[in-house]
Amino acid sequence: MKRNFKNKLAGVSVAAAVAVSSLGFAGYTNLTEAKDKKKQPTNVIMMVMDGTSVGATSLARWYKGENLAMDEIVIGGVRTHSAESAITDSAPAGTALATGNKSNDKIVGLLPKVVNTPGVDPINPEDALKPVANVLEGAKLQGKATGIISTSEIQHATPAGFSSHAAHRSNYQDIAEQQVYQGIDVVLGGGKESLVPGTTKNARVDGENLLNVLNQNGYDFVETRDQLLNSKSNKIWGSFAPTALAYDFDRKQASNSEPSLAEMTNKAINTLSKDKEGFFLFVEGSKVDWAAHANDTIGMISDVLAFDDAVKEALEFAKKDGNTMVIAVSDHGNSGITMGNQNTNGNYSEIPVSTYIDPLKKASMTVEGALKQLKADRSNMKEVAELYGLDNLTAEEIEALKASKTLQADMVKMLANRANIGFTTGGHTGEDVFLYAYGPSKPYGLIDNTDIAKTMAKFMGFDLKKTTDKLFVNARESFENKGYTTRIDVTDKNNPVFIAEKQNIKIEIPVNKNVAHVTQNKKTSTKTLDGVTVYNGKDFYVSENALNLSN
């Protein structure tokens, strides 16, 4: 196995070097610094590998046989707890990374209702579930180009945290609509079903076909790798699957039409960097988390390496540009994966790397990908098991798999045992995660996940609290203070509308959109707002400029 683990800290500030050394990273790191060209615009590329414990990145490095691109920029650690728990869900984790505010389980882009974690500041009960601005919204107000990328549905919790506001992460209807009306320049990932009406789980129930909206707003809507790479547009919406994209190993094996995460990242950077005001780009490698939940070692390795390839693309741009901040981090741990399990208690110090890695190298697909090849009668069980690296099974083992009612769990356990891999859980974990960062004004040391949002906002030249004040005022209170009578029309429960009336003026503001309809002297016009309108089930929140629509 090739080994290329570099052992020097090149060009690192004393403070950063101390921070890295104190976290035990020094033996793996070759940090190079961007030369700040003291120019505008500033760019930020924020990258999240969802649900990735440090054990997963260590294993992926051994599997690859050489340094990861991330190893060059590891510079600290991140605390991941939520407002109510030491172990966070992706929704409050994404909210913290995007807005600088802790929140509760399943909540996206809103303040929490419950705060009981030591060290987290309490909130005024009146502010519970109030929307708070994210860094993408702040960047957009600065005139920057914006983009989000995900290998899951683009409406999934973490990309949702950087682009929307919802009381529950499963509200794909609201999240998808807000993402479309945010006017994000480049959106790439899965989740096409949430853009159109239909009968599938997350298809739209409000009657709106968001593909028509995208077309009206000038997007090049693409659905394959070739269409994406050939697009010349400055506004691209890529939906490459009805739900999530394939794991990277499975994508390669099946030769499907989906782009890799690195290809999506490269295309987004090349497109967004044309903007003279700079850009903000969010990138998520989503399915490491899903593999970790399933204890699928191969799925975790597959998509850690795919994410690392995307980091390489971001770093190549940042090094040339000189004024781009790149941050890569996991939002939380998952599965407690370890090299070593109960079978290695007594002789762990004598076990060579090959004992862990060689069994894993036999797999060509993840367990998800392999099981998609399984026939209904399981007559090809032997061949499917071999796709997952389970070769040389006895006839009894094959028959046991054919009869299994927990086939996926049995297969991942068999491979993990062969490779001496351990797992503590099928859920999230609460340990600190690595912080990877590059470029001017980058964060370093052991920090809180909320610090990342604040660091990005400061680098891009705005304050998140002031942005929140501009984008999210309580509609009822604000309009009533101006002499309007107000109500929330829920005649159509899927399309609530805030209505404010005074004398000959009627203002109608639909949920999840960036528009308001103003009727004055019997003439109706549609006005564009600075941001999307959010309804948290109790109150409507609208952009500050909505208060002056009748002028």
Length of the chain: 551
Does residue 164 carry a catalytic annotation? no
How many DSSP H helices and E strands does the chain contain?
A: 20, 22
Do 450 and 101 contact (CB within 8 A), yes or no?
yes
Given 53, 90, 150, 152, the catalytic residue: 90
> Distances from the Cα of 246 to the Cαs of 5, 161, 340, 415, 546, in angstroms?
30, 22, 28, 21, 42
Residue 514 is encoded by which pair of tokens? Answer: 């960036």
Do 257 and 225 contact (CB within 8 A), yes or no?
yes
Give me the sign of the Cα torsion angle 247, 252, 253, 258.
Answer: positive
Three-class SS state of 285: strand
Rounding to the nearest 10 degrees, give the CA dihedral for residues 136, 137, 139, 141. 160
- CA neighbor of 507 nearest in space, from 463, 540, 459: 540
> DSSP string of 249-270?
HHHHHHT-SPPPHHHHHHHHHH
Do 363 and 387 contact (CB within 8 A), yes or no?
yes
Alpha carbon distance 22, 444 (integer Å): 12
Alpha carbon distance 532, 543 (integer Å): 7
Starting at the edge strand found earlier in the chain, the sheet holding 485-489 runs 485-489, 497-502, 505-510, 515-520, 523-528
Residue type, 23: L
Residues with active-site annotation: 90
